[in-house]
């Protein structure tokens, strides 16, 4: 027997209309590409989203067609977030930091006919459009387009000015596609993940809970995660749902630019990848007084995308008095799956143990399930000790890639994450490595993440990467690459001695190399693939001490 409740599809259009009706006057602040701060509100974003929908009707974009954006975090991009999917089209957000070949690949694969672009990315967009004849026009946000370009360039503002801000949003099937994001393709071509209205709205509900992001109408959120990175971790939707004030930082994410927005807009919550926060602390250490830091109203920061070190958690606590909340997810998981918030029984922990605990990735939100399996695919116990391949399934987890023939999951819906993890009896998950980053030394596994965490806890280290390098005797041995903290003179033997006090002897890196900078992927993660490539012969000449 069915229940007798209404069939009310979970749609992004209902979300933006909810924001306009209930939090219409709450601000949405945007620092544009030219550095100018523009102020609007949720009612204003909704009105312009309706104009976008009318514009797409006029351009003849069909339901289900993809529309690409190559843009930073601005209010123009935000209105596309609602106007494009709300009207039944699919917003394909493209990461401008990918390699040019990958950008061409994903835009071609996504199949868009129109490309919305920020002015500083216009040369890139024109280049793409000349190579991909399917692109009918490049639509330039917040700037006048050139008249002499090889491809049709249209003026977004001029186009919108002709449209009304009234629109009857279609009552779509909630399973219809809303947005498309590609993985960064560290192995092979990037793969497209096609989210649905239903999965996206459920993800926003999940993200909002008190043990998740705990966003409310009292919050001001600085969105330091790019809108092109996994739906900006769902925050535009969660903010519209909760009525939080939203601050969009534009292209500049250096320490100073972030700090001024945190201060001037009285931000209470922000989120982003660990490298972003390292940049912020480097700026704060040199340019901001302790008094000014204390005055910041910031309360919580969510970090994810790669592991947050104990050191980073400690810094937020000690320097800013801010709770750093560690979260885990992937493009394929919308992305939020786990969030680390201590339970009542953790209250008695020592400060150091609590930091260590908070560096774990946390428990899954309702709506997603986790498990670890061994090489044969058999489930391993949740005992906090067994280590295995992490799998996930749930209401906002991908089933299949865009354009892919094969399911991305097994027969029971489990998606293999490529991460290696432990899960405790009370559900806390700790990533010990990515399966391709684990160092296989003499038949045993060494966690590159654990080594990096110990290295960055040394005051002289700003950033560290550990990779497994082929070794004639041990199969692989760890190599540590270090970017020293500004103004610090660090000796290899001192760092090695420091690490020796904290790690098993056979885990210690065989060598330490100091570098001026470490390579990052398009989403700000350490690019270990590039490092592995560059240093693959580093131990080639090593000999077994026994002479073999
Ligand atoms: P890509 O694989 O394209 O870089 P994602 O952004 O989807 O794309 O990255 C997902 C991966 O990032 C996860 O599988 C995991 O390895 C890593 N990751 C994400 N969050 C964390 C975290 N909190 N701790 C450790 N690793 C993380």
Do 358 and 305 share a structural domain?
Answer: yes
User: In this model, does residue 91 exceed pLDDT 80?
Assistant: yes
CB 62 within 8 A of CB 87: no
User: CB-based contacts of 505: which residues, under 8 Å, 6+ apart?
Assistant: none
The secondary element (H helix, E strand) that includes residue 468 is: strand 461-471
Question: Does residue 233 share a domain with residue 276?
Answer: no
Identify the bridge partners of residue 30 per DSSP, sorted by sequence position.
38, 248
Positive/negative CA dihedral, 480, 428, 501, 504: negative
pLDDT of residue 185: 64
Residue 338: phi, psi to the nearest 5? -120, 150
The alpha carbons of the chain give a radius of gyration, in whole angstroms, of 24
Residue 228 maps to a domain: yes
The per-residue pLDDT for 187 is 61
DSSP 145: P
Can you tell me the distance from the alpha carbon of 122 to that of 103, in angstroms, rounded to the nearest whole number? 14
Q: How far is the CA of 244 from the centre of ligand 1 (A)?
A: 26
Residue length, the chain?
548
521 counts as catalytic: no
Compute the mean pLDDT over every residue in the chain, rounded to the nearest whole number: 94
Q: Domain total for the chain?
A: 3
- Residue 159: closest CA among 73, 59, 64: 59
Residue 5 within any structural domain of the chain: no
- The set of protein residues with a Cβ atom below 6 angstroms from ligand 1 is 183-184, 186, 304-307, 326-331, 361, 417-419, 431, 434, 521, 523, 525
CB atoms within 10 A of CB 344: 6
Greatest alpha-carbon pair distance for the chain in Å reads: 80
Same domain for 67 and 87 = yes
Q: Which residues contact 108 (CB under 8 A, 6 or more apart)?
A: 132, 134
Q: Is the peptide bond before 335 cis (omega within 30 degrees of 0)?
A: yes
Residue 440 has pLDDT above 90, yes or no: no
Q: What is d(CA 428, CA 514) in angstroms, rounded to the nearest whole number?
A: 35
Ligand 1 centroid – CA 294 distance (Å): 32
Is 473 a catalytic site residue? no
Catalytic residue of the set 93, 183, 333, 338: 183
Residue 7 placed within a domain:
no
pLDDT, tens digit, for every residue of 210-267?
999 999 999 999 999 999 999 999 999 999 999 999 999 999 999 999 999 999 999 9
Distance in Å from the first CA to the final CA of the chain? 74
Q: How far is it, in rounded angstroms, from Cα 134 to Cα 143?
A: 24
476 among known catalytic residues: no
Phi, psi of 197 (to 5 degrees): -55, -45
Confirm whether 423 is domain-assigned. Answer: yes
Cα 335 to middle of ligand 1, angstroms: 9
Q: Which of 189, 208, 241 is the last residue of a domain?
A: 241
| In a shared domain, residues 428 and 457 | no
Residues 6+ apart with CB under 8 A from 175: 196, 197, 198
Determine the residue of 183, 187, 330 to mutate for testing ligand 1's pocket, defined as the one with the most ligand atoms within 8 A of the Cβ atom: 330
Give the confidence band of 546 by pLDDT, cuts at 50, 70, 90: very low
CATH code of the domain in which 339 resides: 3.40.50.12780
DSSP 319: I
Residue 219 domain-assigned (yes or no): no
Rounded Cα–Cα distance for residues 297 and 320 (Å): 10
Q: Is 128 helix (H, G, I), strand (E, B) or coil?
A: helix
Same domain, 266 and 312: yes
Q: State residue 283 phi and psi, 5-degree precision.
A: -70, -45
Residue 547, pLDDT score: 38
337 neighbors 360 (Cβ within 8 angstroms):
no
pLDDT of 451 over the 60 cut: yes
Identify whether 445 is a catalytic site residue. yes
Contact 79, 157 (CB under 8 A): no
267 and 356 fall within a common domain:
yes
pLDDT in tens, 33-90: 989 999 999 999 999 999 999 999 999 999 999 999 999 999 999 999 999 999 999 9
Q: Is the pLDDT of residue 543 over 60?
A: no
Cα 10 from Cα 197, distance rounded (Å): 6
Identify the pLDDT of residue 489. Answer: 85
> pTM of the predicted model, to two decimals?
0.90
Q: 174, 265, 332, 476: which is the annotated catalytic residue?
A: 332
* Listed residue (175, 272, 268, 176) closest to 229, CA to CA: 272
| pLDDT range class, residue 488, cuts 50, 70, 90 | confident
Chain-centroid distance, C-alpha 134: 29
| Same domain, yes or no: 151 and 119 | yes
99, 180: one domain: yes
d(CA 545, CA 100): 46
Q: Cite the DSSP H helix spans in 288-350.
A: 290-294, 310-315
Q: Is pLDDT of 420 > 60?
A: yes
Q: Region of 395 please: left (phi>0), alpha (psi -120 to 50) or beta.
A: alpha
Helix (H, G, I), strand (E, B) or coil at 338: strand
Helix (H) or strand (E) holding 186, with range, is none
Q: Does 542 have pLDDT greater than 90?
A: no
Q: How far is the CA of 290 from the centre of ligand 1 (A)?
A: 33
Q: Domain containing 457 — which CATH number?
A: 3.30.300.30
Specify the residue with its C-alpha closest to ligand 1, atom 20. Answer: 305
Q: Check whether 463 has a pLDDT greater than 70.
A: yes
Of 331, 530, 309, residue with least CA distance to 437: 530
Are residues 504 and 531 located together in one domain of the fold? Answer: yes
Q: Region 318-336: what's the mean pLDDT?
A: 96
115 and 82 belong to one structural domain? yes
> Which among 98, 328, 365, 434 is the best mutation to test ligand 1's pocket, defined by most ligand atoms within 8 Å of the CB?
328
| CA 532/CA 527 separation, integer angstroms | 9
- Rounded to the nearest whole angstrom, what is the distance from the C-alpha of residue 305 to the centroid of ligand 1? 5
Can you give the three-state secondary structure of 340-400, one letter per residue? ECCCHHHCCCCHHHHHHHHCCCEEECCCEEEEEECCCCCECCCCCCCCEEEEEEECCCCCE
pLDDT-derived band at 475, boundaries 50, 70, 90: confident
- Are 44 and 60 contained in the same domain? yes
Q: Which of 180, 209, 241 is the last residue of a domain?
A: 241
Model confidence at 143: pLDDT above 90:
no
Containing structural domain, residue 506: 439-546
- Could you tell me if residue 280 is inside a domain? yes
Assess if residue 30 is contained within a domain: no
Residue 248 domain flag: no
Protein residue whose Cα sits closest to atom 21 of ligand 1: 306
Helices 12-22 and 42-59, axial angle in degrees (round to 10): 140
Beta bridge partners of 477: 469
Whether residues 148 and 187 fall in one domain: yes
């Amino acid at each position: 027997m069915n229940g007798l409740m209404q069939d009310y599809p979970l749609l992004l259009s209902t979300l933006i209309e909810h924001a306009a009706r209930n939090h219409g006057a709450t601000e949405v602040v945007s620092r544009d590409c030219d550095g100018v701060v523009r102020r609007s509100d949720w009612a204003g974003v909704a009105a312009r989203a309706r104009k976008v929908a009318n514009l797409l009707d006029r351009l003849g974009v069909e339901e289900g067609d993809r529309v690409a954006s190559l843009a930073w975090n601005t209010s123009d991009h935000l209105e596309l977030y609602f106007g494009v999917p709300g009207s039944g089209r699919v917003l394909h957000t493209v990461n401008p930091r990918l390699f040019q070949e990958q950008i061409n690949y994903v835009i071609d694969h996504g199949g868009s006919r129109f490309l919305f672009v920020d002015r500083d990315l216009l040369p890139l967009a024109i280049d793409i459009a000349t190579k991909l004849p399917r692109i009918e026009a490049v639509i330039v946000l917040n700037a006048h387009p050139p008249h002499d370009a090889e491809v049709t360039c249209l003026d977004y503002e001029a186009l919108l000015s002709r449209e009304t801000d009234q629109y009857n949003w279609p009552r779509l099937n909630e399973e219809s596609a809303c947005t498309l994001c590609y993985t960064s393709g560290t192995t092979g071509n990037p793969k497209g993940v096609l989210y649905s209205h239903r999965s996206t709205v459920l993800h926003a509900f999940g993200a909002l809970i008190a043990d998740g992001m705990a966003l409310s109408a009292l919050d001001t959120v600085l969105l330091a995660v790019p809108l092109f990175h996994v739906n900006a971790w769902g925050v535009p939707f969660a903010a519209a749902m909760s009525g939080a004030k939203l601050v969009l930082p534009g292209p500049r994410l250096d320490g100073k630019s972030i700090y001024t927005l945190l201060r001037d807009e009285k931000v209470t919550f922000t989120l982003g990848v660990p490298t972003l926060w390292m940049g912020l602390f480097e700026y704060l250490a040199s340019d901001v007084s302790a008094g000014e830091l204390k005055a910041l109203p910031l309360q919580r920061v969510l970090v994810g995308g790669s592991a947050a070190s104990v050191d980073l958690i400690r810094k937020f606590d000690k320097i800013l008095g801010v709770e750093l909340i560690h979260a885990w997810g992937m493009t394929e998981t919308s992305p939020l799956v786990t969030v680390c918030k201590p339970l009542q029984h953790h209250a008695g922990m020592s400060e150091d143990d609590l930091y260590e605990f908070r560096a774990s990735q946390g428990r899954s939100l309702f709506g997603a399930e986790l498990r670890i399996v061994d090489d044969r695919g058999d489930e391993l116990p949740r005992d906090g000790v067994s280590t295995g391949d992490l799998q996930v399934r749930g209401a906002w987890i991908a089933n299949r890639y865009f354009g892919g023939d094969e399911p991305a999951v097994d027969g029971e819906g489990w998606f293999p994450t490529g991460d290696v993890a432990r899960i405790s009896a009370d559900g806390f998950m700790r990533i010990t490595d990515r399966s391709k980053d684990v160092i296989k030394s003499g038949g045993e596994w060494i966690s590159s993440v654990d080594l990096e965490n110990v290295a960055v806890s040394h005051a002289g280290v700003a950033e560290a990467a550990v990779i497994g390098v082929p070794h004639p005797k041990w199969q692989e041995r760890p190599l540590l690459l270090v970017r020293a903290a500004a103004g610090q003179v660090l000796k290899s033997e001192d760092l090695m001695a420091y690490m020796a006090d904290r790690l098993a002897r056979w885990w210690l890196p065989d060598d330490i190399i100091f570098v001026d900078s470490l390579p990052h992927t398009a989403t700000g993660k350490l690019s270990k693939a590039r490092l592995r490539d560059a240093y693959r012969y580093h131990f080639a000449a090593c000999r077994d001490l026994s002479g073999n």
